[in-house]
Structure 1
């Protein structure tokens, strides 16, 4: 009998397993897929590295810095800014402290006026000095928070709303203001990027750490019914005999947690990513590009697009370029179609993209747990006697939230098992 079964080899499960194994516990990880990673996977398609949906990694996440050797990932950073398609052409706004020489161009763009700049500073300032628990007091939807400070001009409608639509996977402004402020803090402090070998390098790093500490990670092993019998818990598996342990941590995604625990299915937002190959890039810029020409659905379905190979050349074979385009994936609605996406991309880039080759389309129904206001505290990992739950749906909808939740579950297991662990430090 094992000490702990961890069901799911995503970020939360792997972080939890690594911490428990490092404390000498006998840990087995059951993963239904053929590789670790959960939603953080990378595939090789015709020589291109395609993540499962457009992803970014922010080195400012505290739990990421505790969990992973960032230098080993060969992280390549995107510019800290955004390009905006306007009715007059293309404008680019960059982080004014990191790129002070860009301030004049930002002011000339017509996207920034004094009123909006002051309102945004007033709104964002608390995120830089207060913890999330303080930010979440009297929490409202982010659109209400922006209304309250008078942020209503093009900086909001043409820049922030289109940009955050792709980050939050929703465009109605319903997400918690406290959560958005937290993300702004991380964007200010860090330079998001991607590992040279793809986002899968993160879970692979965590898995290597867990295995080195003694964890047994079993791929292609789907866990079914969990039952308690005396001092042990049994997990039925797809192949072979059931696996027994003193404790079980369920670290699966929002789509599977209900079947294993009976907990209500977390509400999620979906994203759709289109991956195109091109001989020539549509721009020399590496910045994320959005369409700032209209509210709502705007001129088309694409919420952001970027030439990946300007930042991570290893994502494509020599002499080729990889372009990502992301759309929202409405639950119960009609997903975007290729003809519509191509038309919109042609407008955004101002280029003929007819020769671009579609490599793959990723429809990620459960891309992110929804974070409506008011934002609640991180949920306890304990849900029954000797049973625990971990995942970003128990914390914040981010890589930070997944890793922090895995740490919290490991702490709970160690405390309940009678260990005086300090392995997982507080995540905020």
Structure 2
């Protein structure tokens, strides 16, 4: 007979946000579950490296306090979200200008149960977020009329139900923006750089449905990062699972509906397998599974003698005058990511690593200060950082491939943390349905892929 440690009702391959989300739903329904992760730690692309007391994310993907799954997912009740200042700073015509700011944070539902603490923690952080205005950022972006039109458009979008957003004609995001009568200045100096940051897609070829959902989330909440680094989120999910559920350092090499064969750890038997790896690894384990294209992302981390901006603000470059798409003094947003007195400047390039001289020159323009004394802490490049979502894009790609075999991840929904968590929930529900287990607390819900 097989050892009990080599058998479970369900085996999940991959301990990223999607796989851990699915595991929490399954264990919560009383289904024995094992999560196998090839890496030495959980998190997948949501990894955080520690260097000289700094906590450096490998992918600079932004979260939003409006993501419903941050409240709905068990285990995230202790997650602290560190918000950026309301709105963003836009580098336009050679100077920083302040964009339209969301005036109200709308909730998609009241916090309940275990998720209440995390929601209230985020609310307190929002209320106390410093709003020190930089001397270089006094000029508002656009005139009063442009600001009023943009504010009205965001207010309408924030209040629009998701199903009505998705009923709009689907086009590439840039084409959709230009077809809606918005001033070209508003599109090019604010919406384009904002969506580039949210979607990691500088060409805005992403489906307008996905772009509208991203803008809706921006209007309903605040851009934010997890306190302590991106990996805090998957580690909280893993710690909420029963002891022994997650096995790191176990690489799956072959899967079927009833077993997973590993490299050096034998065979694990089960009644169903959930494939929760990245898109490429999923296609390697399951030939024939469609693999999307990807947006490459490079994240650069610097420290400096002094913080170049005394504000937790996100800076976007509308002039596209250099390789950096957006940057922030991340230690102003989340002080726990840097040692006391040493600022952390994190910058994102939507492409391969550029020459360091170009990066330094661009950051000097964006922050209005010399970068000669800045030290480079790390450069992280991922050529497959974010799956593309061109129009037409299926926001609910099937998670049930066949009875006993399932797939989840950001490549099955939207290419966001919200999409990964939600796909894990959908996969768990499909498993429970096939096993004949009542899905208590794993509700169908509405489409909430923001």
Which residue is equivalent to 2:11?
A: 5
Which runs of structure 2 are paired with 1:179-258 in the superposition (5 Å)?
Answer: 179-211=210-242, 216-227=245-256, 233-258=258-283
Q: 1:36 to 1:357 in 2, by over 3 A?
A: same
> Is 2:432 the partner of 1:414?
yes
Q: Deviations along 1:237-268, whole A, 9 cap, x unmatched?
A: 11221111110000001221101122021222
Which residue is equivalent to 2:311?
A: 285
Which residue is equivalent to 1:78?
A: 84
Q: How far apart are 1:224 and its partner, in Å?
A: 0.7
Which runs of structure 2 are paired with 1:268-307 in the superposition (5 Å)?
Answer: 268-293=294-319, 298-307=320-329
Q: Secondary structure at the match of 1:235?
A: strand
Which residue is equivalent to 2:159?
A: 128
Query: Please, what is the CA RMSD of the aligned residues?
Result: 2.5
Q: 1:328 to 1:81 in 2, by over 3 A?
A: same
Which residue is equivalent to 1:357?
A: 375
Q: Deviations along 1:191-247, whole A, 9 cap, x unmatched?
A: 2322322111111111111225xx62110111011135xxxx221111221111110
Measured in 1, the distance between the counterparts of 2:250 and 2:314 equals 38
The answer for unaligned runs of 5 or more in structure 1 is none
Which residue is equivalent to 1:401?
A: 419
Number of residues of Structure 1 aligned to a counterpart in Structure 2: 412
Report if the CA contact (8 A) 1:68-1:202 is conserved.
no
Q: 1:88 to 1:346 in 2, by over 3 A?
A: closer
Measured in 1, the distance between the counterparts of 2:102 and 2:316 equals 19
Q: Secondary structure at the match of 2:50?
A: strand
More strand by share: 1
Measured in 2, the distance between the counterparts of 1:288 and 1:404 equals 26
> Is 2:346 the partner of 1:321?
no
Measured in 1, the distance between the counterparts of 2:13 and 2:164 equals 30
Q: 1:76 to 1:69 in 2, by over 3 A?
A: farther
Which runs of structure 2 are paired with 1:145-156 in the superposition (5 Å)?
Answer: 145-156=176-187
Which residue is equivalent to 1:265?
A: 291
Report if the CA contact (8 A) 1:78-1:311 is conserved.
yes
Q: How far apart are 1:427 and its partner, in Å?
A: 4.4
Q: Deviations along 1:76-124, whole A, 9 cap, x unmatched?
A: 2111211122335221124152599x9xx99953524625753674487
The answer for unaligned runs of 5 or more in structure 2 is 1-6, 106-130
Measured in 1, the distance between the counterparts of 2:32 and 2:406 equals 16
Q: Normalized against structure 2, the TM-score is what?
A: 0.85
Measured in 2, the distance between the counterparts of 1:377 and 1:289 equals 29
Q: How far apart are 1:68 and its partner, in Å?
A: 4.8
Q: How far apart are 1:45 and its partner, in Å?
A: 0.6
Q: 1:153 to 1:411 in 2, by over 3 A?
A: same
Q: How far apart are 1:270 and its partner, in Å?
A: 1.5
Measured in 1, the distance between the counterparts of 2:179 and 2:138 equals 24
Which residue is equivalent to 2:61?
A: 55
